[in-house]
Amino acid sequence: MATIRQRNDRWQAIVKRSGYPTQSKTFTLKKDAEKWARLQERLIDAGEWIDTTVRDRRTTLGELLDRYAKEVSSGKRGSRAEAYRIETLKKLGLAKHAIATITPQMIASWRDSRVSEVSSGTALRELQLLGHVFTMANREWGVPISKNPVSLIRKPPAGKPRDRVLTTSERTALVSSCNECRNPWIKPVVVFALETAARRGEILALRWNDVDLSHRTAMLHVTKTGQPRRIPLSPQCVGMLNTLPRSVDGNVFPVSVEALKQAYERAVTRAGITDFTFHDLRHDALTRLAKQGLSVLELRAISGHTTANMLQRYVSIDAGELAMKLG
């Protein structure tokens, strides 16, 4: 008799018969799991069951990475960054190996080599992606893997959080430099980021229907956590928004990610600023808001961080300023 069990929000069917390897497969619906299990039992009883694991064991990591990109990554908001990581992993010699032959030792060897080339945080994110590929292969795609090799090795540290914030003169120089961009939307986007601590994707997805200038708020629907949040708008931000023309498509900032990325990098260079990414604007904004006396709960409402620990990575506290408060 087959075993049907629920795992999280999915159903796993397990078929065990003496003289045959254990078979299992996961489904969204319980009835599909039961149907598959009955089919396997009928095939065994009729002597028509064929072991497909021989074929599955020849599946390479590269093939799984391609499938992951198509079926999993494509549905994520961070699909662009993840697609880049997948292409990086596909260039490794490890990607040519059959999935069943990859051992924890092979993964550990790659990890050690990778941390000598990139930051430990980058290596960790790539390792986490690799681990999820193995998990999907085992749980969703029926590829026989006894244990996820990534789960059996030591992970590199997450790395030191960035603490780069702008000085007053740098902030002025950056805004001035953005004003020189050919694309007229770059400066408004940067000003909005500096005033609200919103992420790039959240800013570019903002629509005029979600902006309430009379109450100085904006609703962000496309967020990293998937949870919409309403953010306050400073007087400077409201003043800037009031000067913007309304685009036909309804977007507040009708500019593409790539156009913003390239123009912003050139603006930073023109301003004579080094080591300051677009995401650092969020760090800078939250640090300034913290200095204005906002509480942790208020900062989290603005930033969208689910925990105070995550928020702490984005707020730089100057020991000298703390000393001044001590008198």
**Tally of domains within the chain:** 3
Q: Is residue 223 part of a domain?
A: yes
Domain housing 181: 168-325
Active site residues: 199, 224, 279, 282, 305, 314
Q: Is residue 163 part of a domain?
A: no
The pLDDT tens digits of the residues spanning 184-240 come to: 999 999 999 999 999 999 999 999 999 999 999 999 998 887 789 999 999 999 999
CATH of the domain at 190: 1.10.443.10
Question: Is residue 42 domain-shared with residue 63, that is, in the same domain?
Answer: no
Q: Which of 167, 198, 201, 173 is nearest to 285 (CA)?
A: 198
The predicted structure's pLDDT at residue 323? 46
* pLDDT beneath 50: ranges in the chain: 54, 322-323
The predicted structure's pLDDT at residue 23? 83
Q: Is residue 160 part of a domain?
A: no
The predicted structure's pLDDT at residue 153? 94
**Structure tokens, 202:** 């959240």
Strands (E), 143-185: none
The predicted structure's pLDDT at residue 177? 97
The predicted structure's pLDDT at residue 322? 46
Question: Is residue 91 domain-shared with residue 178, that is, in the same domain?
Answer: no
Question: Is residue 320 domain-shared with residue 172, that is, in the same domain?
Answer: yes
| Helices 61-71/79-90 angle, 10° precision | 170
